[in-house]
Amino acid sequence: MKRLSSSPLVADAHGARQRGRVRPALMWGVVALALVAGGGLWWWSKRTPAQGEQASAGAPGPGGGRAGGGRRGPGGPGGPGGPGAMGAQAQPVSVGVVERRDMRVLISAIGTMNPRATAVVRAKVSGELLRLHFKEGDEVKAGQLLAEIDPRSFQASFNQIQGTLQRDQALLKNAQLDLQRYKELQAQDSIAGQQVDTQAALVRQYQGTVAADQAQADAARLQLSYTRITAPIAGRLGLRQADRGNVVNPSDANGIVTITQVKPIDAVFSVPEAHVGTLARRLAEGRELPVELWDRDLKQQLGRGRLNAVDNSIDIATGTIKAKAAFDNAEGRLFANQFVNVRLEVDRLEQALTVPTTAVQNNYVYLVQEDGTVTQRRITVGVTDGDRVSVKGELKPGEQVVVDGIDRLREGAKVTVIEPDKVQKVDQAVQDASSQPRGMRNLPPDVRAKLATMNPDERKAYLQKLRAERGGQRNGGNGGGNSGGSNGAGSGAPAAEGSAPASQAPAPSPGSPQPSPGPASAAPAAPAAPAPAGR
């Protein structure tokens, strides 16, 4: 036997048998590795979708909802808080009615109120101001006493001139009597004619002296009358410029007070030159062109009047012409130099199709249909008269258009028609909610109202209490949900013994479903090698 085994033929045969044993074992090892790798890949592919579904189910949706147990919560699309909620919810709006009515063609301008007359009350004589008989801002009549100047010096001058006048009048009277006697004596040839002529000249001299004295007396009387200052015109007084005790003079620039005549009063404004022909034609025909005055905010009408005149030249710098309108101003609401908004009516459109001004959005309006939805209708905007505007488009009288709540609408949106004040309350609530912190917006209205009445310390303690209560409720709910959906955080897939690290599957996350045992759970055992031949 030893000789046979040591022969070359026997050695070659034994080596061939050993090589035959190694090749099947190597092949089975490669197959085992391939199965382990394939099983790991299969297990990973099954695990990943499960984790994705769990993450999507547990995450809050866009509307703030949260779902458990792998189901899609209310926060997902189409849920109560999701993106599709606004499309199905009816939006509160207020509406106006399409109507046919007469519309005025108005020219809007900015004007200035000009008084009919202005008078600066000045002293006509110099003197001390003794008394003031007016209150600032009073309405006065022409000739009404306003102030008094110390009259004593003027009274003395008048008395002196008056005395001279009386003396000269007495001399004149005596000269006239003498002349009368001289004429009687001349008729009797008792005196010479020359004496009569001399007496006649003396009489004429005294007559001239008396006339001069009379003029001086009149001037003194006039100066004395100037110590009583009266209103030259009727109107409204301004602020006084001199106080009692001051010496006033005729040369004072500001005078004592200023009077402006504002009943009636005029408004001066500029009109574009394109309307000059129409205005001139209307005035030539004798037609009355109504004019309205409004306050700065165009909310309150100040007066109604008529166009009086148009200037005779156009301002080349602005391309406008000045016009003047008259107003009675019976209520005294218009003041001199006051800026006003002017509306001049130049024409009138009869039975024009109109909508509320607030319904117009550029060149369209939202029309409320019979099914409770809105649709856009294109329009062409015409003239505006108050809160209505004339339009041309696919509208009919009696139809309803949205005037408030337009910013929340789109084509085909559902709406609920409510009163305008309710729409304003809804808009205010939306603005208040957007200005509040997110945590405050999530609180119920009664809780927010309660917080508004607390001081900062009470509010802080109350909010901490709410957080603690909500935290306890959240923890209790999460414990119940996790007990039925996971097997614990420490569970995982066992690794096959003797397998390479690359073939091991990663441990699953807590709560993920466990893979069922299969070909990939462990590498199959390699079959035993056949016994060597000859044993």
pLDDT-based confidence at residue 265 (cuts at 50, 70, 90): very high
| 521, part of any domain | no
Instruction: Give me the amino acid identity at 99.
Output: E
Helix and strand element counts for the chain (H, E): 10, 18
| 139, part of any domain | yes
Please give the pLDDT value at position 436.
Answer: 58
**What is the rounded CA–CA span in Å between residue 269 and residue 284?**
20
Please give the pLDDT value at position 435.
Answer: 60
Strands 415-417 and 91-97, by their bridges, are parallel
**What is the rounded CA–CA span in Å between residue 198 and residue 436?**
114
Tokens of 112: 């200035």
**What is the rounded CA–CA span in Å between residue 471 and residue 475?**
6
Instruction: Give me the amino acid identity at 94.
Output: S
Q: What percent of the chain has pLDDT over 90?
A: 41
- Residue-wise pLDDT for 128-164, tens only, equals 999 999 999 999 999 999 999 999 999 999 999 999 9
Please give the pLDDT value at position 460.
Answer: 81
424 and 92 in contact (C-beta within 8 Å)?
no
**What is the rounded CA–CA span in Å between residue 110 and residue 318?**
14
With a cut of 50, say whether residue 171 has pLDDT above it.
Answer: yes
Give the position of tokens 């070909």.
Answer: 519
Instruction: Give me the amino acid identity at 422.
Output: K
**What is the rounded CA–CA span in Å between residue 242 and residue 439?**
66
254 and 305 in contact (C-beta within 8 Å)?
no
Please give the pLDDT value at position 157.
Answer: 94
| 125 in the same domain as 18 | no
| 6, part of any domain | yes
> CA 102 → CA 174, 354, 379, 398, 403, distances in Å?
88, 9, 19, 16, 21
| 477, part of any domain | no
Q: What is the DSSP string of 4-47?
A: HHHSHHHHHHHHHHHHHHHHHHHHHHHHHHHHHHHHHHHHHHHH
| 235 in the same domain as 125 | yes
Please give the pLDDT value at position 172.
Answer: 94
pLDDT-based confidence at residue 17 (cuts at 50, 70, 90): low
- Domain finish residue from 207, 226, 248: 248
Q: How many domains does the chain have?
A: 2
Tokens of 425: 């309350």
Q: Is the peptide bond before 264 cis (omega within 30 degrees of 0)?
A: yes
Lowest-confidence region among 50-54, 260-264, 308-312: 50-54
| 14, part of any domain | yes
Residue 373 per-residue DSSP state: B
- Residue-wise pLDDT for 217-231, tens only, equals 999 999 999 999 999
Please give the pLDDT value at position 287.
Answer: 85
What count of Cα atoms within 13 Å lies in the side-chain half-sphere of residue 56?
10
**What is the rounded CA–CA span in Å between residue 243 and residue 329?**
31
| 123 in the same domain as 32 | no
Instruction: Give me the amino acid identity at 393.
Output: G
CATH number at residue 130: 2.40.50.100
- Residue-wise pLDDT for 313-350, tens only, equals 999 999 999 999 999 999 889 999 999 999 999 888 88
Please give the pLDDT value at position 221.
Answer: 95
Q: What percent of the chain has pLDDT over 70?
A: 69
pLDDT-based confidence at residue 82 (cuts at 50, 70, 90): very low
| 328, part of any domain | no
Q: Span 57-79, mean pLDDT?
A: 41
Tell whether pTM > 0.75.
no
Please give the pLDDT value at position 247.
Answer: 95
The three state secondary structure string of 477-515 is HHHHHHHCCCCCCCCCCCCCCCCCHHHCCCCCCCCCCCC
Q: What is the DSSP string of 264-320?
A: EEEEEEEEEGGGHHHHHHHHHTT---EEEEE-TTS-SEEEEEEEEEE-SS-BTTTTE
Closest CA to 514 of 490, 478, 479: 490
Please give the pLDDT value at position 45.
Answer: 64
- Residue-wise pLDDT for 398-445, tens only, equals 999 999 888 888 888 998 888 766 555 555 665 665 565 656 656 676
- Residue-wise pLDDT for 473-527, tens only, equals 666 555 544 444 444 334 444 443 433 343 344 444 444 444 444 444 444 444 4
The three state secondary structure string of 156-182 is HHHHHHHHHHHHHHHHHHHHHHHHHHH
Task: Select, from the ranges 121-135, 184-198, 381-395, the one with the highest average predicted confidence (pLDDT).
Answer: 121-135
- Domain finish residue from 213, 248, 283: 248
| 130 in the same domain as 32 | no
| 211 in the same domain as 129 | yes
| 32 in the same domain as 144 | no
> CA 459 → CA 446, 463, 464, distances in Å?
14, 6, 9
- Domain finish residue from 199, 231, 248: 248
**What is the rounded CA–CA span in Å between residue 202 and residue 213?**
16
Give the position of tokens 């199965």.
Answer: 35
| 216 in the same domain as 125 | yes
What count of Cα atoms within 13 Å lies in the side-chain half-sphere of residue 360?
20
| 144 in the same domain as 24 | no
| 128 in the same domain as 23 | no
Strands 301-310 and 257-272, by their bridges, are unpaired
With a cut of 80, say whether residue 47 has pLDDT above it.
Answer: no
> CA 313 → CA 306, 318, 325, 342, 490, distances in Å?
21, 12, 17, 21, 98
Which residues form the domain of 39?
A: 1-45
178 and 200 in contact (C-beta within 8 Å)?
no
Q: What is the average pLDDT value for the chain, to the nearest integer?
A: 77
Please give the pLDDT value at position 529.
Answer: 43
How close are the terminal C-alpha atoms of the chain, in Å? 14
- Go through the chain and tell me how many residues it has: 535
Please give the pLDDT value at position 66.
Answer: 41
Please give the pLDDT value at position 168.
Answer: 94
Run of H or E including 207? helix 193-225
- Residue-wise pLDDT for 283-321, tens only, equals 888 888 999 999 998 889 999 999 999 999 999 999 999
- Residue-wise pLDDT for 340-381, tens only, equals 999 999 888 888 899 999 899 888 999 999 898 999 999 999
| 292, part of any domain | no
With a cut of 60, say whether residue 239 has pLDDT above it.
Answer: yes
With a cut of 80, say whether residue 453 has pLDDT above it.
Answer: no
**What is the rounded CA–CA span in Å between residue 119 and residue 236?**
10
220 and 158 in contact (C-beta within 8 Å)?
yes
CB-based burial label for 133 (10 Å; 0-12, 13-18, 19+):
middle
| 182, part of any domain | yes
